Chains A and B, each alone.
Chain A
Amino acid sequence: MSTATDSLPVVALRRIGSMSLFLGQVVARIGPAFTRPALIVRQIYNAGARSLVIIMLSGMFVGMVLGLLGFDVFQRFGSEDYVGVLAALGNLKVLGPVLTALLFAGRAGTSLTSEIGLMKSTEQLTAMQMMAVDPVRYVVVPRFLGGFIAMPLLSATFTLIALYGAQLIGVQQMGVDAGAYWSQTQNAVDLHDVWEGIAKSLVFGMAVSLVAVYEGYHAEPTPEGVGLATTRTVVISSVLVLLLNYLLTAAFLTTK
């Protein structure tokens, strides 16, 4: 239990420890949770399909901005053909997974936290325990898996739409030659870059989903407590995603 006198590192350390133990509980129940796949499919729909519109819209605008920015920068060097390279590498390696994770934390993460927090405050989790049903297995694990599975799919959608948006601006509007645009992109992007994006989206999906379900499950069972837990989900998830992004980018750079 945190006290007001605990310093920030102590609070952070305690939270990391508690979250790690919680992750252990979740992982131990993943196998049994697959005996009821309908629960997981429903959560993939909740976390994934319901976030699709915001992800697609954001992907389109990010791609279009990358197209404009790339054209502005590269035309100064007479290398407009490289707009596609910037858009593809930027989206695949960084912007796709990171922005999707941040949007996912704001859209689906908060929803997961408030849903579980409200279930706690209305004694639904206690009622499950009284029915000899483990709430971690029935409530937490399906939501965690739903987020973990949905996140890479959303990230892939974001990236594809962003690539289309960049192409729309670079080729259709600014007049970059389509052949040069795509051939430069194809030459610059290799499988390692694709793997980097996939790995990041998997790690971010796990991190954001874990933070969301943890905060909901440990929320104070009051309206204020649920509100604070929801805020913590966005703050912790966002910082964690940016930190992990740096670490993963550095790690992939050294293994290239």
Chain B
Amino acid sequence: MIFDGLDITARRGRITAFMGPSGTGKTTLLRLITGQSYAERGSVKVFGEEVSKMSTGELFGLRRRMGMLFQNGALLTDLDVYENVAFPLRAHTKLPESLVRQLVLTKLHAVGLRGAARLMPAELSGGMARRVALARAIVMDPEILIYDEPFVGLDPISMGVICRLIKQMNEALGITSIVVSHDVQELASIAHDSFLLSGGRVVASGTPEELNRSDIPEVRQFMDGLADGPVAFHYPAPDYSAELLDEAADAT
């Protein structure tokens, strides 16, 4: 079982952060929200509709109202930056090329990469790739934007840029944002609501400030980055000395 008694609501127009140690099922939670996986029990509703009961057509309809930023950007490697951003427009609309161009350049300008329009994904740095992916995610003007570990592997400058963009997208476009990450400081600076997941349940929720003040051991371990605590450092194993002595006995 990955989740047990999970009860989470992401409110419209706000930035909601799901935090937690690696392996707590944060990405699985996103897969449930986007209908890539279904829960055996329980309910996942988006725009008031039960995701697991949607037909393929309805699910695709729902996804047109969403944008998703993947951990590694997931840009289409055979298309350049411009065509990557134009991809959803070409797939779903019959807009004239002049309008497609205008929309693509607007979105690329918003993420500061209008000048990189003709570069191939292989020519981009990790931070640039994620910004292009963000431009692609917003090109259809989604109502919900989902970010899966947007800060992983980025240098501090790129991290700051992505952080600022997430906030700007939320404030300027009113997009409901769901961010999954374990970068506490970055999330604290942008999130309106935070949920800390551990062991398949929500161990704490509230504003980042409230989480910072919490005395719950799981929260303290996570916020302070402590190696030991409720989340054990060691993977379950037999007794260390017993295992070493057994090995020594076998050798003799």
Contact = CB atoms under 8 A, between A and B. Distances in A.
Interface of A: 118-119, 122-124, 126-134, 138
A124 B74 contact: yes
Interface of B: 34, 36, 60-61, 63-64, 66, 68, 70-72, 74-77, 87-88, 91-92, 133, 136, 140
A118 B72 CA distance: 13
A221 to B, nearest CB: 12
A132 B77 contact: no
A131 B92 CA distance: 9
Nearest to B136: A131
B31 to A, nearest CB: 9
Contacts of A128: 76
B70 A123 contact: yes
B244 to A, nearest CB: 32
A132 B61 CA distance: 7
A129 B87 CA distance: 12
Where chain A touches its partner, the secondary structure class is helix
Given A122-B72, A124-B74, A124-B76, A131 B34 contact: no
A122 B74 contact: yes
Given A126-B36, A127-B68, A138-B91, A132 B63 contact: yes
A123 B60 contact: no
Given A123-B70, A138-B91, A130 B76 contact: no
A234 B70 CA distance: 32
Given A123-B70, A138-B91, A130 B63 contact: yes
Nearest to A131: B88
Contacts of B60: 132, 134
A216 to B, nearest CB: 14
Contact of A119 (B61, B77, B136): B77
Nearest to A36: B90
Q: Which of A122, A127, A129, A138 has its CB near the most chain B CB atoms (within 10 A)?
A: A127
A33 to B, nearest CB: 12
